[in-house]
């Protein structure tokens, strides 16, 4: 089961819980409607109401209403959070699909490159590396960052991302986790390919931002670019591997990708 399906199930359960709480709260309010009506018309005051003798179930119903209100607020917030998370996951998946479609470029295959998608990370925790491209020009580990555009809150074009080697600066926020993540992914791939290629593997970390104009402010170890520029960058890489060196690397990545469960 994919992450979106899991979140969808959680969202459905949270929505049911919120609906149940709203019904219970509504029934509680209905029970006290005559009191609210009387207070609104001035037939009695709140002080008189508080001093009057209470039916045996008054406190129990009041507590039930209070608990159902807290329950309703809690699960309504949970529904909102899960809805937002699902939307972000779907947007991220569309970004990965956009990059995968670019990597299907016939010219890339003709140049001897092979793309692997959702490569399992090497470590205790389970995660997947978005894309790994292998070819004569080296090994490219790609981390896709898909973000919808928002109104700029700084002097920067709304379609522009600036990269200083340590962080991505969007028009309204910054992301300093993506460079760390792609470098960690490089180390993971290095462990996976240990013993299957040259001792010092040429592995290039690349952050891909579909639909954005990326302005790098220098030549850094981690590269950042949009999906359109990516293909030319990979094809233009200087040859570092021979076909003989590439063969065991490709076989190893094919073996890793076969362990994926759908």
Task: Give the residue, 41 or 142, on which the prediction is more confident.
Answer: 142
pLDDT on residue 45: 67
How many domains, in total, are found in the chain? 2
Indicate whether 154 belongs to any domain.
yes
Whether residues 50 and 136 fall in one domain: no
Whether residues 240 and 146 fall in one domain: yes
Count of CB atoms situated within 10 Å of the CB of 140? 26
Task: Decide: helix, strand or coil at residue 248.
Answer: helix
pLDDT on residue 1: 43
Q: Which of these ranges, 4-18, 107-121, 168-182, has the smallest mean pLDDT?
A: 4-18
CA distance 12 to 226: 36
Whether residues 77 and 7 fall in one domain: yes
Whether residues 76 and 156 fall in one domain: no
Is residue 124 scored above 80 in pLDDT?
A: no
Whether residues 159 and 43 fall in one domain: no
Whether residues 77 and 125 fall in one domain: no
Task: Give the residue, 116 or 43, on which the prediction is more confident.
Answer: 116
Query: Can you say whether residue 142 is alpha, beta or left, with left for phi > 0 and alpha for psi between -120 and 50 degrees?
Result: beta
CA distance 68 to 201: 60
Task: Decide: helix, strand or coil at residue 234.
Answer: helix
pLDDT on residue 19: 85
The helix (run of H) or strand (run of E) holding residue 80 is helix 58-103
Over residues 75-100, mean pLDDT: 79
CA-angle at 208, arms to 206 and 213, nearest 5°: 120
Residue-range definition of the domain harbouring residue 149: 104-257
């Amino acid at each position: 089961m994919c992450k979106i399906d899991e979140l969808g199930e959680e969202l459905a359960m949270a929505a049911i819980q919120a609906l149940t709480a709203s019904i219970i709260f509504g029934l509680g309010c209905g029970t006290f409607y005559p009191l609210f009506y009387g207070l609104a018309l001035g037939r009695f005051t709140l002080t008189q109401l508080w001093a009057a003798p209470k039916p045996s179930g008054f406190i129990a119903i009041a507590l039930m209403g209070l608990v159902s209100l807290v329950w309703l607020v809690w699960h309504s917030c949970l529904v909102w959070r899960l809805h937002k998370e699902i939307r972000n996951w779907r947007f991220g998946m569309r970004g990965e699909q956009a990059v995968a479609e670019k990597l299907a470029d016939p010219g890339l295959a003709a140049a001897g490159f092979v793309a692997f998608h959702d490569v399992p990370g090497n470590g205790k925790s389970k995660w997947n590396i978005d894309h790994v491209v292998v070819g004569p020009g080296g090994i490219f580990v790609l981390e896709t960052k898909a973000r919808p555009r928002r109104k700029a809150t700084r002097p920067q074009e709304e379609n522009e991302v600036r990269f200083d080697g340590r962080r991505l600066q969007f028009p309204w926020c910054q992301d300093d986790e993506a460079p760390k993540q792609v470098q960690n992914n490089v180390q993971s791939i290095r462990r996976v390919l240990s013993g299957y290629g040259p001792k010092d593997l040429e592995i290039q970390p690349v952050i891909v931002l579909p639909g954005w104009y990326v302005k790098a402010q220098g030549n850094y170890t981690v590269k950042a670019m949009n999906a359109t520029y990516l293909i030319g960058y990979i094809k233009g890489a200087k040859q570092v591997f021979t076909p003989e060196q590439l063969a065991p690397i490709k076989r190893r990545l094919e073996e890793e990708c076969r362990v994926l469960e759908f």
